[in-house]
Amino acid sequence: MRHLVTGGAGFIGSHVAAALLERGDTVVVVDDLSSGRQENLDALRGDVHVVRGDICDPDVIAGAIRGVEAIVHHAAVASVPASVADPARCDAVNVHATVRLLVAARAAGVSRFVFAASAAAYGDDPELPKREDMRPLPMSPYAVAKVAGEHYVRVFAELYGMRTMALRYFNVFGPRQDPKSDYAAVIPKFVSTMVASGRPQVFGDGEQTRDFCYVSDVVDANLRALAHDGARGEVVNIAGGTAISVNDLVAALNDVLGTSLAPEHREERSGDIRHSVADVGLARDLLGFRARVSLSEGLRRTVEHFRSRG
């Protein structure tokens, strides 16, 4: 089967592409390397065709989609701060390019389309756990764009019979996640700092909670969504289903590293969500998905990856 993975040089996209190649599928990767990395593409092994280009360019889409049977769409402005700084660019990439890709997919007879959505859709709604039927409360252009993408995915299923699904990722972590970006996620920042015996910076009191999911489990969710014959534009939480505080995350990393590094607390950031944990019942019932890699095991693998890179 021939798949198109947009954003395939990125953190999650490159893992999805690698899994598809490993099972013998053909993969086309589209990425402009604005946030993805060449080394992630170099790590891919198998029948892979790389198109370096902007997903907003119709000619890039037209060339990449030829002969494709399924699409996994991860190309995006994937940062809340970046979206706040440039809402128009976020809209162009995360909304308009998604619509163009869906239109091209329908015209080309592509029947399956999996969209990388985000738990940012829930905003600061205090209700826990987060359920897919809760009203979205996006608090950034990034979140607005991801919610719009979800609706387009659903509409294309309802109007045109495409098999589509939107996977709402919570806090994904693992190898290939960039710790050096200005918008890096918390785990790669902590790991890269603590491996070098530095104190991790924690904003606020550290009692805010998050729901972490190791990247191989997210890949499994994508493969299950692609295989689901009854997909009709559903929005599905993909997460571990367990909350952990940032302070406990630091403690868990100290256990893995054999260190006792105390966090360095900084002023709380405005707009940060206090608590987040997913209801993963729909993922279980619809896809047979459950997170299989524990937080401690995922942290161990992530630390090994960072150490192997020197």
Do the Cβ atoms of 202 and 250 come closer than 8 Å? yes
- The count of other CB atoms within 10 Å of the CB of residue 108 is 17
Query: Residue 142 catalytic?
Result: yes
User: pLDDT tens for residues 74-107?
Assistant: 999 999 989 999 999 999 999 999 999 999 999 9
Catalytic residue among 122, 142, 169, 214: 142
Q: What is the 3-state secondary structure (H, E, C) of the chain?
A: CEEEEECCCCHHHHHHHHHHHHCCCEEEEEECCCCCCHHHHHCCCCCEEEEECCCCCHHHHHHHCCCCCEEEECCCCCCHHHHHHCHHHHHHHHHHHHHHHHHHHHHHCCCEEEEEEEHHHHCCCCCCCECCCCCCCCCCHHHHHHHHHHHHHHHHHHHHCCEEEEEEECEEECCCCCCCCCCCCHHHHHHHHHHCCCCCEEECCCCCEECEEEHHHHHHHHHHHHHCCCCCCEEEEECCCCCEEHHHHHHHHHHHHCCCCCCEEECCCCCCCCCCCECCHHHHHHHCCCCCCCHHHHHHHHHHHHHHCC
pTM of this structure: 0.96
Q: Which domains does the chain have, with CATH numbers?
A: 2-172+213-239+280-287 (3.40.50.720), 174-209+242-278+294-308 (3.90.25.10)
pLDDT per residue rounded down to tens, the chain (310 residues): 999 999 999 999 999 999 999 999 999 999 999 999 999 999 999 999 999 999 999 999 999 999 999 999 999 999 998 999 999 999 999 999 999 999 999 999 999 999 999 999 999 899 999 999 999 999 999 999 999 999 999 999 999 999 999 999 999 999 999 887 755 689 999 999 999 999 999 999 999 999 999 999 999 999 999 999 999 999 999 999 999 999 999 999 999 999 999 999 999 876 678 999 999 999 999 999 999 999 999 999 999 998 988 6
- Joined together, the tokens standing for residue 125 give 């709604």
